[in-house]
Chain A
């Protein structure tokens, strides 16, 4: 069983309304029952209600797996970076600290790293991941590229991110404005490091984009 190639995951933090549906749904997934693997992160809580749902981006060359001393993290042929294999994980925390997206979670009680595996029990048989199936605002979307391009004509998916001098390519896409020429995008890379000193601003302006796209 593997994830069908035509289905892709698209994340648009701009659309997140912080409803926590994804968090609740994630814990229903059979591969990590009772444990939500999504980080619903408040970007800067004292000054803003902006939130971001962070799922595993499933890197082509996963830093978490490379720095694992126990060789416990495997990437399957369909590009999904699986959660740590239970017999091998030695709970060193390297993966948690190395992931440029801040995704893996260390379950100290279990001496085990757990992370989003794109609901492998579901996606490997053609179903949608739990989070994407319940997200009411489309911040998390799972479908074909044609579907997302039809539904969001002003957006385009990007799957390359720059962290320092390192560019990471991922299986999961992030939606950015089509033909964006702004400071954080360098060719087709989103420069995450450049947001070091940014703060959330004008949330209403961002929502206008979503409403425009919805029509």
Chain B
């Protein structure tokens, strides 16, 4: 029985999805001490997360099986672990993670407000995820210290760790962690939405599902989350059950949407690191020279890989002229010139024909 290439890719992706979902399921059971610390009220969140894990892994696997992505994935790891450059790569890894991921420098350079919006949303979400997931999975829970009702102890994977007074500033900051994250996210969403409403360029190419819906979802999660705190703190729990349900719906919808829309870039973006190693080490290994103007224009390894990828994709840029061999061996500047020369030559020949007749 044969499935075809696409069929095989789907089966591979399906298996990876099942494997990662099973691992997370196992960790939930293990980390909550066979569900002893699992909060049954949060079961909806858990199943939404399990589904998201499956779908994200499935899509990631399908993505990795595309010829260009596959090439970069393999090459990125090969070059990272190459003995000759390992020390340099590790040094660069820290520099790039801090610069590109923690500080979002390249986004700030694109536009300061855009960078600020992204940084607020990113850090708000990271904080919220870091708090929510361990709680939902039962990996972290709090208990009062025996004999002392004013002190809480944090349990991680069932193991007791640090303790803190219930009425301390630390407790206030910890138990309102989701409030702080909501403020960060709302600030970022407002900035991002303002840009999308006022920027003509953004308006021309944006799509609701891809660009607007994620902002709406993040806003809905943050506001409903804040309303829960407001109800609990100042309104004696008024409407709490309804708000809890509403909040759960927004969170679960977002979790289910994670693999499909713009949020998937969270999982794609780390590929930028691999690409950085590829370009950095590739340039050190030798540059390709243009077959027409003899100038260096790209790492040779990238040109060779690109030729391989194009063949896999069915492109036939090979030429019969041995001095060119493949159109990728011509630099982009020469390609532009050749386009003009080819067209100019047609007109030139017309002039000559006209002159002869």
Contact residues in B for A206 (Cβ distance below 8 Å): 344, 347-348, 351
Cross-interface CB contact of B336 among A39, A164, A174, cutoff 8 Å: A39
Size range of the chain A interface in the assembly? 35 or more
- Nearest-neighbour CB distance to chain B for A17, whole angstroms, equals 13
Is B342 a contact of A165 with CB atoms below 8 Å? no
Is A198 a contact of B341 with CB atoms below 8 Å? yes
Is B348 a contact of A31 with CB atoms below 8 Å? no
Is B345 a contact of A195 with CB atoms below 8 Å? yes
- Nearest-neighbour CB distance to chain A for B96, whole angstroms, equals 10
Is A205 a contact of B204 with CB atoms below 8 Å? no
**Chain B interface main SS type:** helix
Chain B CB within 8 A of A75 CB: no
For chain A residues 59-113, which have a beta carbon within 8 Å of chain B? 63, 66-71, 82, 86-88, 90-94, 96-102, 109-112
Chain B CB within 8 A of A214 CB: no
For chain B residues 287-323, which have a beta carbon within 8 Å of chain A? 292, 297-298, 302-303, 306, 309-310, 313, 315-321, 323
Chain B CB within 8 A of A148 CB: no
Measured in the bound complex, the distance between the Cα atoms of B349 and A118 in whole Å is 31
Cross-interface CB contact of A71 among B63, B279, B345, B351, cutoff 8 Å: B63
Is B347 a contact of A209 with CB atoms below 8 Å? yes
Cross-interface CB contact of A196 among B66, B323, B348, cutoff 8 Å: B323
Chain A CB within 8 A of B236 CB: no
Chain B CB within 8 A of A30 CB: yes
Is B327 a contact of A97 with CB atoms below 8 Å? no
Measured in the bound complex, the distance between the Cα atoms of B311 and A66 in whole Å is 11
- Nearest-neighbour CB distance to chain B for A159, whole angstroms, equals 13
Contact residues in A for B332 (Cβ distance below 8 Å): 96-97, 99, 102
Contact residues in B for A86 (Cβ distance below 8 Å): 110
Chain B CB within 8 A of A13 CB: yes
Given A31-B201, A99-B332, A94 and B306 touching (CB < 8 A)? yes
Contact residues in A for B348 (Cβ distance below 8 Å): 201-202, 205-206
Cross-interface CB contact of B342 among A1, A32, A192, A199, cutoff 8 Å: A192
Interface pick from B181-189, B222-230, B249-257, B261-269: B261-269
Interface pick from B49-57, B67-75, B146-154, B172-180: B67-75
Chain A CB within 8 A of B162 CB: no
Chain A CB within 8 A of B335 CB: yes
Given A102-B335, A176-B346, A196-B292, A166 and B316 touching (CB < 8 A)? yes
Measured in the bound complex, the distance between the Cα atoms of B4 and A98 in whole Å is 28
Given A63-B315, A70-B268, A101-B336, A196 and B324 touching (CB < 8 A)? yes
Cross-interface CB contact of B316 among A70, A112, A164, A208, cutoff 8 Å: A164
Cross-interface CB contact of A184 among B278, B318, B326, B346, cutoff 8 Å: B346
Residue with the greatest number of chain A CB neighbours at <10 A, chosen from B200, B313, B344: B344
- Give 1 or 0 for each of B333-355: 1 = CB within 8 Å of chain A CB: 11111111111111111110000
Measured in the bound complex, the distance between the Cα atoms of B331 and A100 in whole Å is 10
Chain A CB within 8 A of B271 CB: yes
Is A164 a contact of B318 with CB atoms below 8 Å? yes
Measured in the bound complex, the distance between the Cα atoms of B335 and A102 in whole Å is 6
Given A43-B341, A184-B346, A32 and B279 touching (CB < 8 A)? no
Measured in the bound complex, the distance between the Cα atoms of B350 and A206 in whole Å is 9
- Nearest-neighbour CB distance to chain A for B267, whole angstroms, equals 11
Is B344 a contact of A101 with CB atoms below 8 Å? no
Is B106 a contact of A111 with CB atoms below 8 Å? yes
Contact residues in A for B204 (Cβ distance below 8 Å): 1, 30-31, 120-121, 124
Is A67 a contact of B321 with CB atoms below 8 Å? no
Contact residues in A for B319 (Cβ distance below 8 Å): 164-165, 193
Residue with the greatest number of chain A CB neighbours at <10 A, chosen from B71, B297, B337, B348: B337
Measured in the bound complex, the distance between the Cα atoms of B346 and A182 in whole Å is 6
Is A190 a contact of B338 with CB atoms below 8 Å? no
Chain B CB within 8 A of A151 CB: no
Is A69 a contact of B69 with CB atoms below 8 Å? yes
- Nearest-neighbour CB distance to chain B for A175, whole angstroms, equals 8
Is A121 a contact of B337 with CB atoms below 8 Å? no
Measured in the bound complex, the distance between the Cα atoms of B72 and A208 in whole Å is 50
- Nearest-neighbour CB distance to chain B for A96, whole angstroms, equals 6
Measured in the bound complex, the distance between the Cα atoms of B63 and A70 in whole Å is 8
Residues of B within 8 A of A (CB): 63, 66, 68-69, 71-72, 100, 106, 109-110, 199-201, 203-205, 262, 265, 268-269, 271-272, 275, 278-279, 292, 297-298, 302-303, 306, 309-310, 313, 315-321, 323-324, 326-328, 330-351
| Shortest beta-carbon contacts, A-B, top 5 | A102-B332, A52-B340, A121-B204, A30-B201, A102-B335
Q: Would you list 12 pairs from A and B whose C-beta atoms are within 8 A, ordered by A residue? A: A30-B199, A86-B110, A93-B302, A97-B302, A98-B328, A164-B318, A164-B326, A165-B318, A166-B315, A198-B342, A199-B341, A205-B348
Other than the known A67-B68, A110-B110, A176-B347, what 6 A-B pairs have Cβ atoms closer than 8 Å? Answer: A69-B72, A109-B106, A121-B203, A163-B317, A165-B317, A192-B339
